[in-house]
Amino acid sequence: MNPVPTPDEPTIVDDAEEVLAGGSRSPVGRYRLDLSTGEWAWSDEVYVMHGFEPGEVVPTTPLLLSHKHPDDRARVDGVLRQAAESGQPFSSVHRIVDARGEARTLAVTGQGHRDPESGGVTELFGYYIDVTESQREAAARDATASIRASAERRAVIEQAKGVLMVVYGVEEEEAFDRLREASNAANVAVREIAVTLVHLISGPGITVFPTREAIDAFLADPVVPG
């Protein structure tokens, strides 16, 4: 993942992908919003999630909101405004319509940075996770019990690794190790752990990224639907 330059950035989390990957695009991207200027910085992955080539457009708040699904736009705007005021960690799972007219579902997590002198919130920074394919698979699971094709199973494992990388701030190999440890503890396949984990952030009606405590609890005692 190509990161947004962030000198002295407080850590929320990091990158994605490898053990099963072989060149697939990372589902995780970084962003930063300077509240004093309104300027956004996107990593290459966030451009691609919105249907643009990296650097093709100048990201702005109006551009960002224009791509939100009409039914989700007001809620996302409210999340951003509240985060800019409080500086507290925030999250949102919402739909967008990208520059190609395709609907996608993104999970966004982040927090504010306060000026040490004034105490005011000066910027927001965090991560996007593209959970589109995982959400489609979740919908398909509700309609059928058929087994996902090999490529689809691999995709959901990559999504689950991306979630753990964001939550714990670890590299892709350690994220996969955590999935494997949970798999061994529960005596179920890694892909089933991944499917259930991703469902926590992309299932029907989900609008808030789960807390770290919720992820901790799941990995410690995975409950996988039969």
- The answer to whether 84 and 65 have CB atoms below 8 angstroms apart is no
pLDDT in tens, 180-226: 999 998 898 998 999 889 888 877 777 777 888 889 898 988 877 65
How many separate domains does the chain show? 2
Q: d(Cα 121, Cα 84) in Å, to the nearest integer?
A: 6
Q: Could you tell me the maximum CA-CA distance found in the chain, to the nearest angstrom?
A: 58
pLDDT digits (tens, 9 = 90+) for 110-130: 999 999 888 899 999 999 999
Claim to verify: residue 154 and residue 106 sit in the same structural domain: no
Q: Residue 204 sits in which domain range? A: 133-220
Rounded average pLDDT over 152-169: 85
Q: 132, 152, 170: which is the final residue of a domain?
A: 132
Which helix (H) or strand (E) covers residue 48, if one does? helix 44-49
Give pLDDT, residue 14.
Answer: 32
Same domain, 137 and 182: yes
- Does 67 map to a domain? yes
Over residues 5-20, the pLDDT tens digits come to: 443 433 333 332 332 2
Whether the model pTM is above 0.75 = no
